[in-house]
Structure 1
Amino acid sequence: MNEKTNYGNWVPEKALYLLFALAAVFLTITVLLRGLVQIPVLTIIMGVVFVMTVIMAVYMLVCHETFAFGKGNMIAEVHRHLVEHLEWNGEGTLLDIGCGAAALTVRCAKTFPKAQITAMDYWGAEWNYAKEQCEKNARIEGISDRVTFQKGDAAKLDFADETFDAAVSNFVFHEVHSAKDKRDVVREALRVVKKGGAFSFQDMFSQEALYGDMDAFVKQLKAEGISEIHYIGNLEKKLDAIPGYVTTPWMISGMGIIYGKK
């Protein structure tokens, strides 16, 4: 029996079950209010809540299918965009920061068959990912001999300065709760890249509340010694793989990429 990879989804199935369960509860309450209590105002309010919950549940289900590997493949295309901007020959070591379920790790391993890859993640209880899941996916994909997974904190990487020839990260930095200033997470990621090494990071870089003025931040990084760095903002409006209906404030908004060489 062939084993299948499981890369998870940005919209967890548990969240979908919860939304549809809530919709069923609100429908039941609406029916009871109409038939037993007969309070029109409460019935209307609960009916509106039911309809709104159904709409949200259906919307999240559509997003789930859009993101899913092997279905909508949007996340796979987002990963492709990141790797295409990694200006690296693939010889040496690469770090995947916040690897999740190892989807980006696997893409990097297949794109750079000579690379030795270290992938790290916090794998907290709030996420539907785990180290064992990563190791299984890597084994199924046939790249486990070139990949090492370890638990860690992106705000304080357990590696010496200039350890890796390249580094990647996708939609991770803004989720690092141990860092108040998300720009510090970027600097920490760059710290472990060798001088002249390559990097490609995608995150919510166009959200000023998280990163401030990105043009100014890029200038600061150059002043701090990064030899080449490029920034492209608002990618959700530029990438064909990202449909408009997922560019909501609570899904994908203010996406950007910084890439270059240290």
Structure 2
Amino acid sequence: MKEKTNYGNWVPEKALYMLFGVAVIFGVIAVAVQVILMEPLIEIAAGIICILTFAMAVYMLICHETFAFGKGNMMAGVHEHLVDHLDWDGEGKLLDIGCGAAALTVRCANAFPKAQITAMDYWGAEWNYAKEQCEKNAKIEGVADRISFQKGDAAKMDFPDEAFDATVSNFVFHEVRTAKDKRDVVKEALRVVKKGGVFSFQDMFSQKTLYGDMNEFVDILRAEGVSEVHYIGNLEKKLDFIPRFVTTPWMISGMGIIYGKK
């Protein structure tokens, strides 16, 4: 029996356990207060918190199942959309910035069987991903011989200028804590793309608090020498495979893609 891959989920299972646990705790408190203390105000407050937390836990569980590979497959759809906007023949080197558990990396390896792929991530204890997990997933998928994984900071990568023929990144740039201005992370990603090379990046580009006016930013990138840049904003409202119930401010809001040729 083939070993299963583990690509994680945008809704970590730890968060689900925590939410359901909090709901249970406040439910017990509400019952205990009613039976022992008979304090209606405390009982009502604890009951309300229990109900609200349980409702959020159920909502997050539904989102978890919607995102999951092999179930709702929404994350797979997001990756497919990104790769579909990478106009590349697959000859040469590709970099996946912020590879997480290597789901996008493996998709790229399958889409471009002649490519040599480098995948980097900061990983870290706060994320539900690890380098060993990436290597295991790549091995299970049969593409480990064409992928190398390394730790790195997307704000300042240890690669020379124009090192790659193609670069991709998915929902990473806004998470880079070492860069105050998230536009700088985009520019750093473009720095390592060869002149004439291609790129496809998805992130919360339509959130002005993160990126400001994206049309203005696109003009800046063109002025700095990027020959072809396209931007599509608010993808969560345009892609059929993204259900309306996940397009909340705390889940997916302001999703966008920039792609083109340097």
- Percent identity, aligned pairs only, is 76
| SS of corresponding position for 1:96 | strand
Letter in 2 for 1:135: E
Aligned to 1:142: 142
Aligned to 1:7: 7
Looking at structure 2, the residues matched to 170 and 144 of structure 1 have their Cα atoms a distance apart, in angstroms, of 20
Q: Displacement of 1:163 after TM fit?
A: 0.2
Aligned to 2:178: 178
Aligned to 1:45: 45
Letter in 2 for 1:40: P
| SS of corresponding position for 1:2 | coil
1:10-39: CA deviation from partner (whole Å, max 9, x where unpaired): 011111111111111000000011111111
Looking at structure 2, the residues matched to 111 and 121 of structure 1 have their Cα atoms a distance apart, in angstroms, of 21
Tell me, which stretches of 5 or more residues in structure 2 are unaligned? none
Looking at structure 1, the residues matched to 2 and 171 of structure 2 have their Cα atoms a distance apart, in angstroms, of 31
Aligned to 1:82: 82
Looking at structure 2, the residues matched to 143 and 10 of structure 1 have their Cα atoms a distance apart, in angstroms, of 24
Letter in 2 for 1:30: A
Moved more, 230-239 or 38-47: 38-47
Aligned to 1:254: 254
| SS of corresponding position for 1:78 | helix
Moved more, 94-103 or 10-19: 10-19
| SS of corresponding position for 1:180 | coil
Q: Displacement of 1:146 after TM fit?
A: 0.4
Q: Displacement of 1:124 after TM fit?
A: 1.2
Q: Displacement of 1:170 after TM fit?
A: 0.1
Aligned to 1:54: 54
1:213-234: CA deviation from partner (whole Å, max 9, x where unpaired): 0000000000000000000000
- The 5 A counterparts of 1:57-72 are 57-72=57-72
Within the alignment, does 1:131 sit opposite 2:131 as a pair?
yes
1:56-101: CA deviation from partner (whole Å, max 9, x where unpaired): 0000000000000000000000000000000111100000000000
Aligned to 2:216: 216
User: TM-score, with normalisation over the residues of structure 2?
Assistant: 0.99
Letter in 1 for 2:254: G
| SS of corresponding position for 1:177 | coil
- The 5 A counterparts of 1:15-34 are 15-34=15-34
Looking at structure 1, the residues matched to 140 and 108 of structure 2 have their Cα atoms a distance apart, in angstroms, of 15
| SS of corresponding position for 1:77 | helix
Letter in 2 for 1:132: E
Letter in 2 for 1:197: G
Aligned to 2:159: 159
Q: Displacement of 1:244 after TM fit?
A: 0.6
Looking at structure 2, the residues matched to 115 and 19 of structure 1 have their Cα atoms a distance apart, in angstroms, of 42
Within the alignment, does 1:117 sit opposite 2:117 as a pair?
yes
Letter in 1 for 2:30: T
| SS of corresponding position for 1:167 | strand
Aligned to 1:203: 203
Q: Displacement of 1:41 after TM fit?
A: 1.2
Q: Displacement of 1:42 after TM fit?
A: 1.3
Letter in 2 for 1:194: K
Looking at structure 1, the residues matched to 223 and 83 of structure 2 have their Cα atoms a distance apart, in angstroms, of 26
Looking at structure 2, the residues matched to 237 and 10 of structure 1 have their Cα atoms a distance apart, in angstroms, of 19
Letter in 2 for 1:44: I
Moved more, 37-46 or 191-200: 37-46
1:126-180: CA deviation from partner (whole Å, max 9, x where unpaired): 1000000000000000000100000000000110000000000000000000000
Looking at structure 2, the residues matched to 228 and 53 of structure 1 have their Cα atoms a distance apart, in angstroms, of 47
Tell me, which stretches of 5 or more residues in structure 1 are unaligned? none
